[in-house]
Structure 1
């Protein structure tokens, strides 16, 4: 195919669509309707949220949006997702901040649905931050077993962990490093997601300034890293396992050419898996580019063009490793402090009245001096590479009296039978603004004072102090308080992390 220059003179660029068409003109021969494609890039991208399956159903989430006068439309092909207006500030809603839902672009939600995930699998997310796909995988595994989420940036790992904590994920261990050098001692995995760092051309509907910085050199620079990630994923995949490679760019240099090169390197180990994506219109992967003929099997890849489904741009390839190849031994598990926590759990039981044998569903351990972490009972972090954290930091024991973290309260609060306080809507908003507020007459009549789990409409909000003086003091974290200060108020977005 012929490469176009991708640039036009400033005088000739009269509209945003002209700018988009000029910046991306080298893809003109790949797109079925160029004018529709260029026009789509200039329209606001609709928002999308998915319901946290451990806390709320999608119909109930749609009901919360309807109460706010927001029309939420089900997303065909994604049963738990809702489309919301582009202008809707999802990260500032009370229900978002307490983990009832997560905001994630529609096409970004698709990879997890194609990984054939089942409880009991061992899974690696190689480039995990900010964590939307990680959380989807975690819930597809039933919030059990072992999912390792890696990212090369420590700051991005903090944001990743914050999202996992907000959503109540307990089956994830996070690691920080270059996944292209993932150590063999970390073991093999049944499923691996490689959502590779890319030139992000498909995100221009959210970040129009990218149009001014697009250049073929970006794709050529990123290609070697993407190949290293996919190559390592093949090595770390168990025989018979599945690898999903995805990007949010249009560039063949980062998509089909990467997949073609790895298939050529490992012709006896891999095959491209044909998958269907109900509810979405996609284009097949290309089989020729700039004079290079590519394997016909690359047509099994999927390209998402923005004008086909009113989404961003995306690329997906699903690969399977041959099942008759030699497998490796199970990795050595990390040594965790699982003992001497019974007294803390007994104290929580005595205070809040959890159901009998409640803690048998979890694995409790101390990872820092601050307090205790909660993991799925069958979660087994590997000894290598060194983890940044496993599970959810749920109980702070280095304060007097000890108290559940907000993430812990969001996870456990619905199961307590004592010291639980249901708030009114006005109290809910005051609580999430970190205010001290007056109790209702019915609340004032209660004989319980001190540390309380607070809820609204049955949903856990966190921890508050019901003072003997008769006021209720919010313990909602300061770093979260901007994201849910009542309808359309506040300045913050979703919390960056969940450690109080």
Structure 2
């Protein structure tokens, strides 16, 4: 901290916001009162937001489930008009502590953060790269937009964040993702070309002020325009995306900051460098009250097409701040040659585990359709989409979903595997009461009623609540049900 900053007197939160946001006053003041509305919005806590897992439920069922679980209507519970999957929730609502979150029926993700993937316009059969993927909300959105099939690469610069990313993908049953670790700005061209690329770039994070109140005291508006290291990284990421995008493909660049130096100015520079081989598409969603991108800033006139960008201001959308630019590479632009594909053959004995698993839980033989098995570690087997074709380079940190642990006796279906396939089980499956559900999620033992275990033999069983799988438990010979819910997930059940 500089001496000048150390001597700055303590300010109230509103005064701090006015100080660090002052450079944007002319941008938000379209009408009388807009500036004060903007400052007031930044002082309000951010509503919670979730999206429904489209392969496990729909938004109407999820909304009804939440109302039933909470004992009636919740103030603030509402659908977002621009998203068919999103639900707004009260500010203090802890979605991660509800059973349906543990069961992977939904994912918590700030409303503004959900916008980029909708504008990326992903379709099954496309090859997609998420260059800055952790903690994985957008990655999961993309994976499901692909139908949980095909090829999605999720990269992040921070190795420790990849574990959190993988945890989210496992809970949601994602099998079409390979994760990679490294600087996205140096992503190897050997990976080949992609149809869609998301660059949710690291930024100064001003748009998160509603979630991170203390950020206002740390922001320095004097350095936003001159942060060469940050701007250089953003440029490198977007340039790399242009290189890796196939001709005719789409790139989405987004940040959670208001700073034009990190938004329109970055896009403008890359557009100029591409000399017509890259064009901006309109970034608009019906029902979303966004504003156009800037075409002038700091005395500089920018390309008029930058108005096609999207800005989300908190006082207009009741979200965090966000910026989105959607770019299309022209059909005549140069593109990379196809790269080598990684070898994903199963081991000689790996597929032999599948018939026994299917027999144990009464799954149909077709349950493995469209999937393949691969042993990536000694611990057990991963499940991947059969048409998942990641490149040989860069090497993957992980692929698909860890679903069957084979290095223990007896072998065990993982919780992620149970969430993925448990709804189709016809044997060794037990429906729990609400009280039993909460005990199971707390990793406590349960004493089921005779009618609950009548069709189960001692051993591993899949437990469900209201037909939705929660995980795996061990039914003992004394008919006690021992929870095998993973300890690292037990925070899901904190409210219970």
**Structure 1 residue 288, shift from structure 2 partner:** 1.2
- Tell whether the 8 Å contact from 1:273 to 1:318 is kept in structure 2 after alignment: yes
1:143-158 to 2 correspondence within 5 Å?
Answer: 143-158=148-163
Kept after mapping to 1: 8 A contact 2:16/2:216: yes
Mapped to 2, the partners of 1:7 and 1:117 lie a distance apart of 48
Q: CA deviation at 1:8?
A: 12
Which residue number in structure 2 is paired with residue 423 of structure 1? 432
Aligned to 2:291: 283
1:24 maps to 21
The one of 273, 276, 285 equivalent to 1:268 is 276
Residues 150-205 of structure 1 deviation map (CA, whole Å, 9 limit, x = unaligned): 00011100000000000111111000000100101011100000000000000000
User: SS where residue 287 of structure 2 aligns?
Assistant: coil
The residue that corresponds to 2:87 in the other structure is: 82
Q: CA RMSD in A?
A: 1.7
Residue equivalent to 2:175: 170
Please say if 1:476 is aligned against 2:485.
yes
Q: Give the Å deviation of 1:364.
A: 0.8
Q: How does 1:41-80 map to 2 (within 5 A)?
A: 41-67=42-68, 68-69=70-71, 71=74, 72-80=77-85
Q: Is the 8 A contact 2:257 2:323 kept in 1?
A: yes
Distance apart, 1:360 and its partner CA: 2.4
Provide, for residues 427-481 of structure 1, a one-character-per-residue CA deviation record: whole Å limited to 9, x for no partner: 1101000011101131243352211011110101110001011200000001111
Q: TM-score, normalised by structure 2?
A: 0.94
CA change 1:312–1:7 in 2 (3 A) is farther
Residue in structure 1 matching 2:194, options 186, 189, 204: 189
Moved more, 263-272 or 226-235: 263-272
Paired with 1:445 and 1:147, the residues of 2 have a C-alpha distance of 43
Residue 403 of structure 2 corresponds to residue 394 of structure 1: yes
Q: Where do 5+ consecutive residues of structure 2 fail to align?
A: none
The separation in 2 between residues aligned to 1:138 and 1:189, in whole angstroms, is 14
Q: Which SS does the other structure have where 2:199 is aligned? A: strand
Give the 3 Å change call, closer, same or farther, for CA 295–448 of structure 1 in structure 2: same
1:24-83 Cα deviation digits (max 9, x unpaired): 111111112111000100001111010011111111111121021452201110111100
1:370 to 345, 370, 379: 379
Are the equivalent residues in 2 in contact too, given 1:75–1:83 (CA < 8 A)? Answer: yes
Distance 2:347 2:331 in 1: 39
- Report the more deviating stretch, 197-206 or 269-278: 269-278
- 2:284 and 2:217 map into 1 onto residues whose CA distance is 35
- Matches of 1:199 and 1:85, distance apart in 2: 27
- Secondary structure, in 3 states, of the residue corresponding to 1:114? helix
8 A Cα contact 1:171 1:391, kept in partner: yes
Write out aligned runs for 1:316-465 (5 A): 316-340=324-348, 341-465=350-474
Deviation string, structure 1 residues 358-403 (Cα, Å, up to 9, x no partner) = 2122011111111000011111111000100110000000010101
SS of 2:327 mapped into structure 1: strand
User: Which shows bigger deviation, 15-24 or 175-184?
Assistant: 15-24
For residues 158 and 294 of structure 2, the distance between their equivalents in structure 1, rounded to whole angstroms, comes to: 32
| Contact 1:226-1:258 within 8 A present in 2 as well | yes
Superposed displacement of residue 347, structure 1: 1.4
Do structure 1's residue 111 and structure 2's residue 116 form an aligned pair? yes
Structure 2 distance, partners of 1:125, 1:339, is 29
- The offset of 1:342, in angstroms, is 2.5
Aligned to 1:3: none
Any conservation in 2 of the 1:7–1:22 contact (CA below 8 Å)? Answer: no
Per the alignment, residue 317 of structure 2 pairs with 309
2:100 is the alignment partner of 1:91: no
Range moving further from structure 2, 259-268 or 247-256: 259-268
The answer to whether the aligner puts 1:232 opposite 2:237 as a matched pair is: no
Looking at structure 1, the residues matched to 405 and 388 of structure 2 have their Cα atoms a distance apart, in angstroms, of 21
Find the aligned partners of 2:223 and 2:192 in 1 and give their Cα distance: 35
Contact 1:7 1:25 in 2 (8 A): no
What is the TM-score when the length of structure 1 is the normalising length? 0.93
Q: d(CA) in 2 for partners of 1:130 and 1:476? A: 22
Kept in 2, the 8 Å contact 1:422–1:456? The answer is yes
Structure 1 7/231 Cα, relative in aligned 2: closer, same or farther at 3 Å? farther
1:242 offset after TM fit, Å?
Answer: 0.3
Structure 1 equivalent of residue 141 of structure 2: 136
8 Å CA contact 2:346, 2:374 repeated in 1: yes
Which of 258, 261, 280 is the equivalent residue of 2:266?
258
- Kept in 1, the 8 Å contact 2:428–2:456? The answer is no
Shift of 1:23: 1.5
Any conservation in 1 of the 2:245–2:335 contact (CA below 8 Å)? Answer: no
Mapped partners of 1:421, 1:461: distance in 2 = 10
- Once the two structures are TM-superposed, the CA of residue 7 in structure 1 deviates from its matched residue by 13
Q: Which residue in the other structure is 1:493 paired with? A: none
Deviations 1:404-439 (CA, angstroms, capped at 9, x unpaired): 111111101111221111111111101000011101
Structure 1 CA distance for aligned equivalents of residues 455 and 138 of structure 2: 43
Q: Aligned equivalents of 1:9 and 1:280: distance in 2?
A: 39
